[in-house]
Structure 1
Amino acid sequence: MNDFAPGRPVVLRGGTVLPMDARRQVLAGADVLVEGDRIAAVGPALQVPEGTAEIDATGGIVMPGMIDTHRHMWQTAIRGYGADWTLTQYFVWFYLEHGKLFRPEDVHAGNVLAAVEALDAGVTTVVDWSHGLRTVDHADAAADALQSVPGRYVLAYGNIQQPPAEWTAAPEFRDFVRRRVTGDDMFGFQLAFDVLGDPAFPERPAFEVARELGAAVTTHAGVWGATSDDGIRLMHDHGFMTPGTVYVHAASLSADSYHRIAATGGSISVSTESEQSAGQGYPPTWAVRLHGIPVSLSMDTSVWWSGDLFSAMRATLGADRSREHLEAHAKGGTITHCGLRAEQVVEWATRGGAHALGRDDLGSLEPGKKADLVLIKNDHSPVSFPLLHPYGHVVFQAQRGDVHTVVVNGRVVKHEHRLLDADLAAARRQVEATVEHLRSAMGEETWQKGMNPDIPETKILDNPYTYTDYRSSSTHSL
């Protein structure tokens, strides 16, 4: 008999529960009862229906499933390839040269691997910032992959090889939306494109399509050398900044742009590891907090970084505190109390993501909410005890190997540290075929050189897009 058969209630017993509600409670020795796709109850010694499957959470932490609001999942097929890249090298490799080599089956391979990887790390919802959708066949492959894995996903449809005004107007794009965007609770939809700051505002038609479709826009904003305050002003002046808009990175913006984002109710997806390493700008949480803008976390791409949010939380707390100490030292002072606490970054990884997606049924463990949750427990690890500061333990001590159980929409998808019903061998075969295709198409010398490619002077650009000749020094100054 399957202990976690569909429809069978599940209870996690005796864990330290982080409900991530407005009070930021810590419930010691508490239970979480799941019935159907919802959380039925949270509390000590719960009475449960007969036949409920029980999971021993003693000594562990039960928290909401984590939410990643910006991940280029298709790029996971070449995990780690760009570990030594700068942002310019990334732009040239994917946008200008080799991104065109990815076939629909390669997008599918990357998405499947990324989706499985997310579940393994306790990330139950991912926004697939899918800007490699050169054709609708690519888009169908991306959607097929996401819907083959039992997580919760949002397809943020994008195409870096065409102007946003062009691909959003194509009949085949409209047909895709009609066929695939059906209101499925597990499969959301956004539009993904950037605003370059060209006064002609060539992205306007794409915003109009988003408005017509009722789809939120997610955009890389405040990326040093690519997007700037000019794009924010254009969006604001034309009325396209909405509460559903997600501004990714926002790392090199002025106070004026932060004011506009705050005033229009948008949120910022911070990819700290990316910003630290690639060069979009210093991770902006220190500035964003000053303006009261909602924050979510993301890991960007496995071409460089890990696919879990433990490292994202850890890096974010470290970067924010480092900036705070540095500024104090420059003035001859010192910091006596941290401005950003562990509980806040855990909140950004859960409730923050739910807020960014407009999903008030996600991100916390409360009766009636969707049953997306994670048990962090590892009885075989000396790092699992003592459990004194649960929020701090999640941020600084836990890692993907400590994810014991993952539940998505009431379904147990990982238990006792093993994914259930995941065909890793098939995922490996798909990815190996993609790598072989790319190496063959590029040639071995180019493939090897691509891990640290030379950049011709003519390709050091203000932005990596080719649909406008607009260039501006504003992308290089604060």
Structure 2
Amino acid sequence: MAPIPGAPAASEIADAPAVVFRHGHVLTMDDRRTALTDGDVLVVGDTIRAVGTNLATPEGTVEVDATGGILMPGMIDTHRHMWQTAMRGYGADWTLTQYFVWNYLEHGKRFRPQDIYAGNLLSAIEAIDAGVTTTVDWSHGLVTVDHAEAAVDALEEVPGRFVFAYGDIHAGPWEWTASPEFRGFVERRMPRSEMLGFQLAFDVTGDPAFPEKAAFEVARELGVPVTTHAGVWGATNDNGIRLMHEHGFMTPETVYVHAATLSEDSYQRIAATGGSASVSAESEASCGQGYPSSWALRRHSIPVSLSVDTSMWWSADAFAAMRSTLSADRAREHHEAHACGDTVTHVALRAQEVVEWATRGGARALGMDHLVGSIEPGKRADIVLLKNDESPAMFPILNAYGHVVFQAQRGDVHTVLVNGRPVKYGHRLIGTGLAKARRAVEQTVEYIRAELGEEEWAAGMSPEIPESKVLDNPYTYTKYADGSTHQN
């Protein structure tokens, strides 16, 4: 896309002591949900200094014309398996069972540290390109600490904000959290900062012995939150939630990913302990974790954030996440009403709330609401400008929230600031090493394809994998089964 005549160059913005965006639709996502139709946002250094109209600016401020565009907080993804991005689209026709078979039971251990690096690097670049300024790397393919080192190396190369969620689906969480190698990694690489946070990522199978207790105790000792796949059909269920609650490990910092097949009792336990859920509606609707859960979460006043899950199926696109969440929620609302012979005349979930889930909701879930998630003076300047004068879908902007959810797409992301630093401007990435990521991913694909052989490579994309390979859970580190979804 050609530069707009008279617009500042990217280098001018990067070198300026201050930047002001003029005359945009500003969705602040503050507590009052303030929205301006002709607003300015002033950024000084790494911080938002002022929001309003016709703002006065300090000397040397560079002006960006946001006319015809939407200014919003950087979006926040609370659950993305970034390491899988090198296999983008490979599993487009999979079910959840086939995903489990391929990654958990058959081929996940084949990924080398450099393959984790390649996926993370591409995923991190893709995130900021699409206006996602904070991403949780739900990194559950860390067979060794060397894999973890490679994952963090990639995150540190990209000028985004990340939370590294350490996990290993091939070993019990009570095992890898107890290893001296893991402890050494934490001490060496995880002195948490505003730009790189830390979580533990593991699931609770529901085994009455509750072996995961030891991993929760490590999380408590380290002072880090736990993020867990909960309410996933055939893998995690109400027994896991009950065990967490009975042992005192359900906290406000806990993020329950999917939460799609839980009972009223489990939802009430989550609500009572102040936890939040990460909804991946495209994933849940397509591969079978359960019906996208926002409609159930709303009934229990459980805070919601959004996520894209994995690029092995669909796009890592927060616009698609918002759109699919709103569509699934409304579809369920209509379905429930029709089943009772009723009709919905006023939808409960509005576009404004879904935009909030994609921004402020993520910040709250990650304990970062004081830092990011809204456009307010004093917060870090993680800001996205949606503006595309060459798109017939970007005008007129009458309902800005609805436009973000139903009309805009990643190609409309004009400018992205992370911590006040321009990482995308004029629809072009700045200093992200995309060519390097391409080479790394090409090498990973070549390696995995050679490891599998052409027959197995082709079979992996086919939906013919026998479901009998997965019984009650897909975890290779436990033989526990409770018969809740399959007869033994």
Instruction: Give the equivalent residue in structure 1 for 2:174.
Output: 165
Question: Matches of 2:123 and 2:303 in 1, distance apart?
Answer: 26
Tell me if the contact between 2:98 and 2:467 (Cα under 8 Å) persists in the aligned partners. no
Q: Indicate the SS of the match to 1:128.
A: strand
The offset of 1:469, in angstroms, is: 1.4
Instruction: Give the equivalent residue in structure 1 for 2:56.
Output: 47
Q: Which of residues 142, 150, 153 is equivalent to 1:133?
A: 142
Instruction: Give the equivalent residue in structure 1 for 2:381.
Output: 371
Question: Matches of 2:56 and 2:485 in 1, distance apart?
Answer: 59
Judged with a 3 Å threshold, the aligned counterparts in structure 2 of structure 1 residues 458 and 276 are, in CA distance, closer, same or farther, namely closer
Judged with a 3 Å threshold, the aligned counterparts in structure 2 of structure 1 residues 223 and 53 are, in CA distance, closer, same or farther, namely same
Question: Matches of 2:139 and 2:38 in 1, distance apart?
Answer: 41
Instruction: Give the equivalent residue in structure 1 for 2:450.
Output: 440
Could you report, residue by residue, the CA deviation over 1:302-353 in whole angstroms, capped at 9, with x for unpaired residues?
A: 0011111100000000000001111111122111001100000000000000
Instruction: Give the equivalent residue in structure 2 for 1:180.
Output: 189
Alignment of 1:54-453 (within 5 A): 54-360=63-369, 361-453=371-463
Q: Indicate the SS of the match to 1:473.
A: coil
Identity in percent: 71
The offset of 1:474, in angstroms, is: 2.9
Extract unaligned runs of 5+ from structure 2: 1-8
Could you report, residue by residue, the CA deviation over 1:442-476 in whole angstroms, capped at 9, with x for unpaired residues?
A: 11110011001533454122111122211113357
Extract unaligned runs of 5+ from structure 1: none
Instruction: Give the equivalent residue in structure 2 for 1:34.
Output: 43
TM-score w.r.t. length of structure 2:
0.96
**Letter paired with 1:185:** E
Tell me if the contact between 1:106 and 1:434 (Cα under 8 Å) persists in the aligned partners. yes
Aligned residues: 477
Tell me if the contact between 1:99 and 1:132 (Cα under 8 Å) persists in the aligned partners. yes
Q: Which of residues 17, 27, 48 is equivalent to 1:18?
A: 27
TM-score w.r.t. length of structure 1:
0.98
**Letter paired with 1:441:** E
Could you report, residue by residue, the CA deviation over 1:135-192 in whole angstroms, capped at 9, with x for unpaired residues?
A: 1110000000001000000000000111101100010100100011112210000000
**Letter paired with 1:374:** V
Could you report, residue by residue, the CA deviation over 1:246-299 in whole angstroms, capped at 9, with x for unpaired residues?
A: 000000000100000000000000000000001000001111001000000000
Question: Matches of 2:329 and 2:115 in 1, distance apart?
Answer: 37
Aligned structure 1 segments of 4 or more residues deviating by more than 2 angstroms? 4-8, 453-458, 473-477
Question: Matches of 1:308 and 1:30 in 2, distance apart?
Answer: 26
Instruction: Give the equivalent residue in structure 2 for 1:462.
Output: 472
Q: Indicate the SS of the match to 2:270.
A: helix
**Letter paired with 1:38:** T
Which moved further from structure 2: 176-185 or 193-202? 176-185
Question: Matches of 2:178 and 2:474 in 1, distance apart?
Answer: 22
Question: Matches of 2:14 and 2:363 in 1, distance apart?
Answer: 27
Q: Indicate the SS of the match to 2:108.
A: helix
**Letter paired with 1:26:** A
Question: Matches of 2:70 and 2:53 in 1, distance apart?
Answer: 14
Question: Matches of 1:318 and 1:208 in 2, distance apart?
Answer: 39
- CA RMSD of the aligned region, Å? 1.2
Which moved further from structure 2: 132-141 or 447-456? 447-456
Tell me if the contact between 1:230 and 1:474 (Cα under 8 Å) persists in the aligned partners. no
Which moved further from structure 2: 327-336 or 215-224? 327-336
Tell me if the contact between 1:6 and 1:411 (Cα under 8 Å) persists in the aligned partners. no
Q: Indicate the SS of the match to 1:406.
A: strand
Question: Matches of 1:389 and 1:117 in 2, distance apart?
Answer: 27
The offset of 1:37, in angstroms, is: 1.1
Tell me if the contact between 2:47 and 2:377 (Cα under 8 Å) persists in the aligned partners. yes
Question: Matches of 1:393 and 1:331 in 2, distance apart?
Answer: 32
**Letter paired with 1:465:** Y
Q: Indicate the SS of the match to 2:12.
A: coil
Which moved further from structure 2: 453-462 or 236-245? 453-462
Judged with a 3 Å threshold, the aligned counterparts in structure 2 of structure 1 residues 211 and 6 are, in CA distance, closer, same or farther, namely farther
Question: Matches of 1:145 and 1:439 in 2, distance apart?
Answer: 23
**Letter paired with 1:207:** F
The offset of 1:398, in angstroms, is: 0.1
**Letter paired with 2:313:** W
Question: Matches of 1:242 and 1:163 in 2, distance apart?
Answer: 22
Question: Matches of 1:476 and 1:211 in 2, distance apart?
Answer: 34
Question: Matches of 1:330 and 1:430 in 2, distance apart?
Answer: 51
**Letter paired with 1:156:** A
